[in-house]
Chain A
């Protein structure tokens, strides 16, 4: 039983890891078909992973309502929003529009989700501005450099900035295309090396955290 509980998952990880790492080097139609199929499979399995997340959210708010914890009324709002959207979405088969006409599900998307999402991200502009005021004071050479780069890019992205500082547009392009690219590239190389090392550790059973704890 210990074998099934601990060794079998490690064996599956090893076999799958080796097979799909090798698949890259086999340019045969069957190999390509296998990749297409397994990509579809991963999408299907990922759908079940959503069930785990949603169940956790359901449980968390159900407990809040049952215990009448502070703010439990908002949990009812959350439930109402979620169940209402699901009911309407399933009623129209998940379609936002039918023959060019907006469905009730599309109405929820356009008039609730889009404004809520847009405003949530938009108010970050204010918080970023206040954070910048507190942290952007040029206390050192490095901080001054960060401040100058940010100002140039901000000015270079709007017509008013380019009018006030004509060179800001070109300078912005240079910063983004050359300086920013070099840093992104270095970070990408570092992260990728880490990802490859982690993948190898997973395949060879050195890294097992993904299996979780609990009973052997």
Chain B
């Protein structure tokens, strides 16, 4: 087994266990791993942004292909940094104005088309279908998202939830009934989202445990076992020291 693989297993196991210690209580090992996580993540993002933006989008097109029009976004980007010079801090507004203006302009037609009209179109579907003989028919299959019954449920769901969030009319009478139906739909959706999220987290947890079990193998120097012992020992010492410290003693 290559040295860097074994070292990687020890580092990955240690950091995993350090994060898991938070389940016991906040402690120095968790804080160490947490700060390292932030540092490494920021460092990684900086390198990736440097590689993508500075090298691939700016340096190579400008120097190798002579695309000097890129000096404009470079200049606008530099204006953002004017925030650090109080006398010319207002120049950064130009950069923000450009980004916000372009973003708003791009958003309006695309949001209307994709997120409003398309969603309405998919909601308002025929509630009956034409059978092969030519007569109207109503399909009841719940497992088929395209069935007429599901089309009806979808329509009721969308309209009632929209009513729930529509505050321009008082929620009384028929509007109250629609809004109450909307709440029921919302509750089911929140429950489903919760269940889905829990299972996704469980999947990640299983992934971490799989790694820990694999790294307990003698090929990796039983990294999981040794580091588990070391982590537990550190937690015991840390807890004992914390108990010895007078309250408010930092």
Contact = CB atoms under 8 A, between A and B. Distances in A.
Interface of A: 4-5, 8-10, 12-25, 35, 37-38, 40-52, 54-55, 57, 70-71, 74-75, 77-86, 89-90, 93-94, 102, 105, 107-126, 128-129, 132, 142-143, 145-154, 157-158, 170, 172-193, 195-196, 198-200, 202-203, 210-212, 214-215
Contact of A42 (B9, B80, B93, B99): B99
Given A146-B194, A154-B195, A199-B108, A108 B72 contact: no
Nearest to B36: A81
Given A12-B98, A122-B208, A183 B57 contact: no
Contacts of B153: 178-179, 182
Contact of A116 (B36, B78, B115, B158): B36
Given A77-B35, A85-B44, A150-B198, A180 B142 contact: no
Given A86-B47, A90-B50, A120 B101 contact: no
Contact of B196 (A42, A108, A148, A176): A176
B221 interface: no
A124 B110 CA distance: 35
Which secondary structure dominates where chain A touches chain B?
Answer: helix
A108 B44 contact: yes
Given A182-B154, A187-B161, A211-B97, A120 B37 contact: yes
B201 interface: yes
Given A111-B12, A123-B205, A182-B156, 13 more contacts: A38-B102, A43-B53, A147-B191, A153-B191, A174-B142, A176-B196, A177-B150, A182-B161, A186-B159, A186-B162, A189-B158, A203-B101, A212-B93
A45 B95 contact: yes
B60 interface: no
Contacts of A22: 105
A214 B87 CA distance: 11
B83 interface: yes
